[in-house]
Amino acid sequence: MPGKASLAANQYYAHRHNLFWPFMQKLFVIDPRAAYEERLALLQSHGIALWDVLKECFRSSSLDGDIVETSIIANDFAAFFAQHRNIRRIFFNGEKAEKAFRRYVLPGLTGMDDMLLVRLPSTSPANASIARDHKLKSWQRIAEND
């Protein structure tokens, strides 16, 4: 789920210290001054979609650890995959996204045998224990076979 800054801005990864957009700028040569809609379009041109695992949840802060498990409602990935049949790789921005997908989404899906599921280190500023360079090196996987 987006944090408070992202919800307020109605944009993914809007927190000024989140590394997602700086990483995308390096990997796909996206102008950091580009409007949000333009950045999204550039990601799409590289075959990348952004979507939350969770459609709804309650949490008291922007931290994933504060998500109340009983409040979780997952997005409809079955319908999404039915509309986008060429998806072969899913990259998760951190542990919580991967765990939520595996717990709340994956059991209801079929035909996932060829799907590559990869957890990447969270780009959140709360994930400060991993060096930026190490995170970026991990995130370079999304640019493979672009």
Q: Say which CATH number the domain at 16 has.
A: 3.40.470.10
Confirm whether 136 is domain-assigned.
Answer: yes
Stated pTM of the model: 0.85
- Residue pLDDT, tens place only, 94-133: 998 999 999 989 998 988 888 999 999 999 988 889 999 9
Per-residue burial over 12-31, b if 16 or more Cβ lie within 10 Å, else e, is bbbbeebbbbbbbbebbebe
- Residue pLDDT, tens place only, 80-91: 999 998 999 999
**Range of 40's domain?**
4-141
Contacts of 27 (CB under 8 A, 6+ apart): 139, 140, 142, 143
Quote the number of domains for the chain. Answer: 1
Confirm whether 129 is domain-assigned.
Answer: yes
Confirm whether 146 is domain-assigned.
Answer: no
The CA distances from residue 123 to 8, 83, 110, 120, 130, in Å, are 19, 28, 30, 9, 10
User: Residue 116's beta-bridge partner residues?
Assistant: 89
